[in-house]
C-alpha cells in the first residue's frame, strides 16, 4: 500500500482583482487587526507541526503513526483555514457595507447642509455635549462681529459669552452677566420662544427643541418687520387713546393734570390751567412737577398746600382764590407717575354749611319741644333725636344717633316696638302705648306715633319709604290718673249704694284737675312762645346795640384823638389823656358785654379745624410784646410744633384774656424775691390734649376765690400794676363761656404772693391744614399823610365831624358826605386818594353799594375802607372779595393812620 503525501499549502481563493477598501472607523480597523493576528498564529502552528513530523521520521516503522498524525493535523489546518477564509469574507463584506454607509452619510450630510442653508431662518444644531454640530449662513449672519469664531465644536455657552461681550445683543446691557445667566437658563429649560433685540436694530425670535439623542435644535427668526408693524400699530393705538383721553379730560368739570414717572406733564385740560391760573411754562407738555411746586411756593399763602402736593397720595380741601374752595386729589398710577385732580367744591361747601345751619335750627326747635322726637331710617337706625329723647333715656344723643334700634334701646324694648316699626316702614301711620323706664325703677307711660317718610314716586308704583318720624308723648300722669280712676271705679262699684255721693265728688275733682292741667299746658306753651320771642328780640337788640352804641363811642374816640394831636396846655393834656382812658374802658366794657350777650344767646358758632399752635403764639407774642415792654415786664413765649383742634379765633380770645390779666396784675419788680416781673406762655403735652399755660409772678389768687373770679363783674382786692387799665371783671367770665362752648377744660393754680398759672387744655389735631395767620395789632405808621385827599361817607354827623377833625389834624384834605348821592354830587375834577364808608347807612343802604358807585366814577382801583361794628366773618369775606379793607368800630387813630399809609403806599 503506497501512501502519497501532499505537503502543499492549502489552496487559497483567487485574489479579487478589485482592491478591498480599507476600513475607516476605529472599530473596523481593530477587528481587522485581530483577524490578521489570528491568521498569523495559525500559520505558525501549521509550520511547527510540519517541522515536527519531518524530524520525527525514522526507519523503525514509525511512519504510519506520523502519517496518522499528519492526517489529523491536515484536517485541523483545513478547518482553521476555512474559518479564516470565512472571517476574511465577512471582513470584506463589512468593508463594503462601511464604504456604502460612509458614502450615504456624506450624501445625507450634503443634502442636510443644502436643506439647512435653504431655510429662511437661522438654523443651528448642538449635540448632547452642547457643542455646535451644524449651522447655516443665516445663523452666522445674526452675529457679524463673531461669525469667524463660530465653528463646529464650539460650545453654546461660548457663543453666548461672545455675543454678550461684543455688544451684539442690545438687551444684554447694561448688565451682560445677568443677561448671560438668564439666556443659559432659558437654553437649559427650553421653554421658549424668546425674543432679543440686536445692536443693529433687528429683532430675533428663538425657538429651541430637544432632539432624541439629547442635542438641541435652534431656529432663529428675524421678526424685525413684525416688531416694526406692531410698534406702528401700538403708536397708532396710543395716539387714538391719547386723543380720546384728551377729549375726555376736556369734557370733565375737574381740573386734571397727568405727570409721568419722570414727573413730566403729559396730559391736562383747560380747566386745569384756568382753575389754578397757571402760566404757560408750567402748563405745557414736558413741564416738570418741580415747576408746578415752585410756582405755588412763590405765591406763598395764596398758593396751594405744598405738603399736600408732595404726598404720594392725598385728598384734601383748601381755600382758594375769590373765596372758592378746592378739593385736591393726588393718585399714583401703576406704571409710575401720578394724576392731580382739582375740583371746585365751593357750592358743595356752601350747601353743607346751609345744611348744618338748617340742622342747627331744627335742633333748636325740636330741643325746645317737651315731646320725644326721633327719626329712624329704612335700616332701623336712629338718625336724629332731640334733647328730651336723650334726657328720658339718660344717654347722650351721640350714643343714640347712628345706632340700630335694638342696640340703642335693648332687645326687650325693641321687641315691644318691632311690629309697629315694620308697619311704619311699610307705609302705615301707627299709634300705640308704650311703657318706658323711669327714675328709681318706676315705669313711665307714653303714647307713640310713627309717621312714614315717603320718597319720590317711581313710575306708577308706590313711593319708597325712606324711614319714619317717631313722636312720643309722656302720659304717665294721665295714665296714673286713669288707673286711679279705674281703682276708684272698682271701689265705687263695690260700695255703690253707700258711696254714690263720694264718687260724684271724686269725679268732679278729677275733671277739675284735668282742666287745670290743660290750662297749665296752655300756659307753658304761651310761656315758651314768649321766651322764644324774647330771645329773638334780644338777638335783634344785640345786633342794633353793636352798631348804635359803638357809633357815638367811635365819634368820641375820633374827637379825643384829634384833640391829642393839637397843641394843648399841660392841664388840658391830662384831661385829654383821662378822657381817652375812660373811653377805652367804656369800649372794653361794651365789647365784653356784647361778647357775653352773644355767647349767652348762642349767636357765636365755633369753626373747628386743625392748625399748628405756633401760628397763634406768633401773633400773641407780637401783640403783647409792646405792652409788656411799656410796663417793664419780661414776656416769654415758648414755641411749640404741636397741632391742635379748635376754633383759632375763640382760642385766641381765651389766651388774650389770660395774657391781659397777667400783664395787668404783675408788678414790674417782684416784692417777694426781687427781680423783674415775668409772664411766661408755654405748652405741656398730656393724655387729654395740649395744655396751654400762662404763668405770671403777680400777687396770686386765694384758694377760696378761684371759682369767684370767673363770675361777671367780680374783681379781687389785689394790687394792680396799672390802676388806669384796671379790668371790669368780665374777661374771665368770657373765658369761662368760650371754654364751655369749645369743651376745653380751664384750670387755675395760684400761690398768693408768688403768682398764678391759668391753663386751657385743647385736644390734639391730626393734620395742620394751612390757615391764614392771625393779624397782629396794627402799629402806628410814621409816613406823612399831608395833602392826602380823603372822602368820608357816614350817616352820623358826629362821626363825620370827628373824622374831619382827626384827618385834618394830620394835614389831609377831607370831604364828608351822609350818603352816596351827596358824595357823588360833591366830587370835583380831582378824585380822592382814599375812601372811608360806614357799613350801615340810612334807608337800609350798605356801605359796599356806595363804595362801588364812587369807584365807578373815580376808578375801580380807588383804595377803600369799610368801617363797621359788625365783626362777623361774612362781612370780612365780602370785603375781601370786593377789594376793600375793614376797620372795626370804635376806630383807633393809630390803626387808622397805619391803614391809610399802607393803602397809599
Q: Give 143's pLDDT tier (boundaries 50, 70, 90).
A: confident
Q: Which of 346, 366, 398 is the last residue of a domain?
A: 346
Of 98-112, 334-348, 709-723, 736-750, which gets the smallest average pLDDT?
A: 709-723
The answer to whether 890 and 553 are in contact (CB under 8 A) is: yes
User: Is 740 within a domain?
Assistant: yes
For residue 671, the surrounding DSSP H or E stretch is none
Convert the pLDDT of each residue in 548-572 to its tens digit. Answer: 566 666 666 666 666 666 666 656 6
The answer on pLDDT for 780 being more than 50 is no
Q: What is the DSSP track for 538-561?
A: HHHHHHHHHHHTHHHHHHHHHHHH
For residue 762, the surrounding DSSP H or E stretch is strand 755-762
Give the C-alpha separation, 625 to 681, whole Å: 12
Instruction: Identify whether residues 158 and 183 lie together within a single domain.
Output: yes
The answer on pLDDT for 457 being more than 70 is no
Instruction: Identify whether residues 625 and 711 lie together within a single domain.
Output: yes
User: Is 776 within a domain?
Assistant: no
Instruction: Identify whether residues 316 and 384 lie together within a single domain.
Output: no
Q: Which of 111, 135, 162 is the last residue of a domain?
A: 111
3-class DSSP state for residue 688?
coil
The percent of residues above 90 in pLDDT, for the chain, comes to 3
Convert the pLDDT of each residue in 176-200 to its tens digit. Answer: 788 888 888 888 877 778 888 887 8
Highest mean pLDDT among 131-135, 234-238, 395-399, 486-490: 131-135
3-class DSSP state for residue 201?
coil
- Tell me what pLDDT residue 564 has: 60
Instruction: Identify whether residues 107 and 123 lie together within a single domain.
Output: no
Instruction: Identify whether residues 123 and 101 lie together within a single domain.
Output: no
The answer on pLDDT for 604 being more than 80 is no
Give the C-alpha separation, 87 to 100, whole Å: 20
Full domain range(s) for residue 286: 265-346
Q: Give 672's pLDDT tier (boundaries 50, 70, 90).
A: very low
Q: Is 610 exposed, middle or buried (0-12, 13-18, 19+ CB in 10 A)?
A: middle
Task: Work out how many domains the chain is built from and give that number.
Answer: 5
Give the C-alpha separation, 200 to 530, whole Å: 96
Q: Specify the pairing of strand 216-222 against strand 382-385.
A: unpaired
Q: Is 556 exposed, middle or buried (0-12, 13-18, 19+ CB in 10 A)?
A: buried
Convert the pLDDT of each residue in 879-892 to its tens digit. Answer: 888 888 888 877 77
Task: Return the C-alpha torsion angle 528, 533, 536, 538, nearest 10.
Answer: -100
User: Is 491 within a domain?
Assistant: no
Convert the pLDDT of each residue in 26-77 to its tens digit. Answer: 667 777 888 888 888 888 887 777 776 666 554 444 566 667 777 888 888 8
**For residue 547, which of 129, 145, 121, 842 has the smallest C-alpha distance?**
842
Instruction: Identify whether residues 614 and 758 lie together within a single domain.
Output: yes
Q: Give 698's pLDDT tier (boundaries 50, 70, 90).
A: confident
User: Is 133 within a domain?
Assistant: yes
The CATH number for 712's domain is: 3.30.565.10
The CATH number for 197's domain is: 3.30.450.20
Instruction: Identify whether residues 381 and 340 lie together within a single domain.
Output: no
Instruction: Identify whether residues 371 and 404 lie together within a single domain.
Output: yes
Dihedral pair phi/psi, residue 680, rounded to 5°: -125, 135
- Tell me what pLDDT residue 762 has: 92
Distances (CA, A) of 66 to 4, 175, 511: 13, 91, 174
Instruction: Identify whether residues 670 and 725 lie together within a single domain.
Output: yes
3-class DSSP state for residue 310?
coil
**For residue 665, which of 635, 641, 699 has the smallest C-alpha distance?**
699
**For residue 161, which of 145, 248, 480 has the smallest C-alpha distance?**
145
Instruction: Identify whether residues 277 and 138 lie together within a single domain.
Output: no
Convert the pLDDT of each residue in 785-823 to its tens digit. Answer: 788 889 899 888 877 887 888 888 888 888 888 888 888
Q: Which of 426, 457, 474 is the last residue of a domain?
A: 474
Of 124-133, 233-242, 706-715, which gets the smallest average pLDDT?
A: 706-715
Q: Tell me, rounded to whole angstroms, the distance of Cα 102 from its chain centroid.
A: 81
**Mean pLDDT, residues 637-656:** 87
User: Is 318 within a domain?
Assistant: yes
Instruction: Identify whether residues 78 and 126 lie together within a single domain.
Output: no
User: Is 816 within a domain?
Assistant: no
Convert the pLDDT of each residue in 252-269 to its tens digit. Answer: 778 888 888 888 888 888
User: Is 519 within a domain?
Assistant: no
Question: How would you label 308-318 residue by residue, b for 16+ Cβ within 10 Å and e otherwise?
Answer: bbeeeebebbb
Mean pLDDT for the chain overall: 77
User: Is 557 within a domain?
Assistant: no
Instruction: Identify whether residues 756 and 636 lie together within a single domain.
Output: yes
Of 418-422, 573-577, 704-708, which gets the smallest average pLDDT?
A: 573-577
Amino acid at each position: 500500500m503506497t501512501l502519497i503525501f501532499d505537503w502543499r499549502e492549502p489552496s487559497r481563493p483567487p485574489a479579487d482583482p478589485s482592491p478591498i477598501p480599507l476600513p475607516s472607523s476605529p472599530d473596523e480597523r481593530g477587528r481587522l487587526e485581530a483577524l490578521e493576528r489570528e491568521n498569523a498564529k495559525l500559520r505558525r502552528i501549521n509550520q511547527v507541526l510540519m517541522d515536527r513530523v519531518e524530524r520525527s521520521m525514522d526507519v523503525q516503522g514509525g511512519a504510519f503513526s506520523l502519517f496518522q498524525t499528519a492526517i489529523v493535523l491536515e484536517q485541523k489546518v483545513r478547518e482553521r483555514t476555512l474559518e479564516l477564509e470565512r472571517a476574511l469574507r465577512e471582513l470584506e463584506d463589512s468593508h463594503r457595507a462601511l464604504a456604502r454607509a460612509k458614502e450615504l452619510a456624506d450624501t445625507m450630510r450634503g443634502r442636510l447642509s443644502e436643506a439647512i442653508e435653504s431655510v429662511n431662518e437661522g438654523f443651528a444644531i448642538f449635540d448632547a455635549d452642547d457643542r455646535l454640530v451644524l449651522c447655516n449662513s443665516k445663523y452666522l449672519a445674526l452675529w457679524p462681529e463673531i461669525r469667524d469664531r463660530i465653528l463646529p465644536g464650539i460650545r453654546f455657552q461660548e457663543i453666548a459669552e461672545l455675543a454678550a461681550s461684543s455688544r451684539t445683543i442690545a438687551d444684554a446691557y447694561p448688565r451682560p452677566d445677568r443677561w448671560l445667566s438668564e439666556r443659559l437658563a432659558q437654553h437649559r429649560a427650553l421653554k421658549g420662544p424668546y425674543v432679543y433685540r440686536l445692536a443693529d436694530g433687528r429683532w430675533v425670535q428663538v425657538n429651541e427643541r430637544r432632539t432624541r439623542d439629547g442635542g438641541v435644535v435652534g431656529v432663529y427668526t428675524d421678526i424685525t418687520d413684525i416688531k416694526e408693524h406692531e410698534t406702528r400699530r401700538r403708536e397708532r393705538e396710543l395716539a387714538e387713546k391719547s386723543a380720546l383721553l384728551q377729549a375726555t379730560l376736556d369734557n370733565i368739570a375737574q381740573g386734571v393734570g397727568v405727570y409721568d414717572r419722570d414727573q413730566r406733564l403729559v396730559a391736562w385740560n383747560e380747566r386745569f390751567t384756568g382753575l389754578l391760573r397757571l402760566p404757560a411754562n408750567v402748563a405745557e407738555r414736558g413741564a416738570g412737577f418741580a415747576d408746578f411746586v415752585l410756582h405755588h411756593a412763590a405765591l406763598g399763602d395764596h398758593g396751594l398746600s405744598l405738603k399736600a402736593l408732595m404726598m404720594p397720595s392725598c385728598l384734601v380741601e383748601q381755600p382758594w382764590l375769590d373765596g372758592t374752595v378746592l378739593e385736591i386729589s393726588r393718585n399714583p398710577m401703576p406704571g409710575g407717575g401720578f394724576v392731580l385732580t382739582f375740583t371746585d367744591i365751593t357750592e358743595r361747601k356752601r350747601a353743607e354749611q346751609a345744611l348744618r345751619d338748617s340742622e342747627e335750627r331744627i335742633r333748636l326747635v325740636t330741643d325746645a319741644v317737651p315731646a320725644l322726637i326721633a327719626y329712624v331710617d329704612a335700616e332701623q337706625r336712629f338718625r336724629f333725636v332731640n334733647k328730651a329723647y336723650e334726657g328720658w333715656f339718660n344717654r347722650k344723643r351721640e350714643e343714640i344717633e347712628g345706632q340700630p334700634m335694638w342696640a340703642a334701646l335693648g332687645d326687650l324694648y325693641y321687641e315691644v316696638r318691632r311690629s309697629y316699626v315694620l308697619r311704619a316702614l311699610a307705609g302705615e301711620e301707627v299709634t300705640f302705648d308704650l311703657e318706658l323706664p323711669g327714675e328709681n325703677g318706676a315705669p313711665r307711660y307714653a303714647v307713640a306715633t310713627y309717621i312714614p317718610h315717603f320718597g319720590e314716586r317711581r313710575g306708577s308704583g308706590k313711593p319708597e319709604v325712606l324711614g319714619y318720624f317717631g313722636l312720643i308723648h309722656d302720659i304717665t300722669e294721665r295714665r296714673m290718673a286713669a288707673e286711679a280712676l279705674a281703682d276708684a271705679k272698682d271701689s265705687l262699684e263695690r260700695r255703690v249704694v253707700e258711696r254714690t255721693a263720694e264718687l260724684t265728688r271724686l269725679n268732679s275733682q278729677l275733671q277739675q284737675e284735668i282742666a287745670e292741667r290743660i290750662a297749665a299746658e296752655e300756659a307753658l306753651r304761651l310761656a315758651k312762645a314768649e321766651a322764644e320771642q324774647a330771645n329773638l328780640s334780644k338777638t335783634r337788640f344785640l345786633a342794633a346795640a353793636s352798631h348804635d352804641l359803638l357809633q357815638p363811642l367811635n365819634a368820641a374816640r375820633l374827637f379825643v384823638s384829634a384833640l391829642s394831636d393839637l397843641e394843648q396846655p399841660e392841664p388840658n393834656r391830662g384831661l385829654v389823656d383821662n378822657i381817652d382812658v375812660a373811653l377805652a374802658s367804656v369800649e372794653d366794657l361794651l365789647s365784653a358785654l356784647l361778647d357775653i350777650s352773644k355767647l349767652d344767646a348762642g349767636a357765636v358758632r365755633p369753626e373747628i379745624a386743625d392748625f399748628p399752635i405756633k401760628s397763634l403764639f406768633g401773633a400773641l407774642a407780637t401783640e403783647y410784646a409792646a405792652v409788656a415792654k411799656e410796663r417793664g415786664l419780661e414776656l416769654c413765649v415758648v414755641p411749640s410744633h404741636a397741632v391742635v383742634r379748635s376754633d383759632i379765633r375763640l382760642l385766641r380770645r381765651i389766651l388774650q384774656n389770660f395774657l391781659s390779666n397777667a400783664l395787668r396784675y404783675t408788678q414790674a419788680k417782684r416784692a417777694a424775691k426781687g427781680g423783674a416781673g415775668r409772664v411766661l406762655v408755654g405748652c405741656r403735652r398730656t393724655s387729654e390734649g395740649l395744655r396751654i399755660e400762662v404763668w405770671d409772678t403777680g400777687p396770686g389768687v386765694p384758694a377760696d376765690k378761684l371759682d369767684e373770679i370767673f363770675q361777671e363783674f367780680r374783681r379781687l382786692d389785689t394790687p394792680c400794676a396799672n390802676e388806669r387799665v384796671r379790668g371790669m371783671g368780665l374777661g374771665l367770665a368770657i373765658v369761662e363761656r368760650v371754654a364751655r362752648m369749645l369743651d376745653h377744660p380751664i384750670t387755675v393754680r395760684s400761690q398768693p404772693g408768688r403768682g398764678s398759672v391759668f391753663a386751657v387744655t385743647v385736644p390734639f389735631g391730626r393734620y395742620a391744614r394751612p390757615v391764614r395767620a392771625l393779624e397782629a395789632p396794627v402799629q402806628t405808621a410814621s409816613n406823612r399823610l399831608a395833602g392826602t385827599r380823603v372822602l368820608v361817607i357816614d350817616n352820623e354827623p358826629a362821626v363825620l365831624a370827628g373824622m374831619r377833625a382827626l384827618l385834618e389834624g394830620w394835614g389831609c384834605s377831607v370831604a364828608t358826605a351822609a350818603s352816596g348821592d351827596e358824595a357823588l354830587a360833591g366830587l370835583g375834577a380831582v378824585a380822592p386818594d382814599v375812601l372811608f364808608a360806614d357799613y350801615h347807612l340810612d334807608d337800609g343802604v350798605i356801605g359796599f353799594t356806595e363804595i362801588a358807585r364812587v369807584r365807578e366814577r373815580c376808578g375801580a382801583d380807588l383804595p377803600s375802607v369799610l368801617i363797621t361794628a359788625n365783626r362777623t366773618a361774612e362781612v370780612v369775606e365780602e370785603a375781601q372779595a370786593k377789594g376793600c379793607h375793614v376797620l372795626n368800630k370804635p376806630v383807633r387813630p393809630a390803626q387808622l393812620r397805619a391803614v391809610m399809609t399802607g393803602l397809599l403806599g
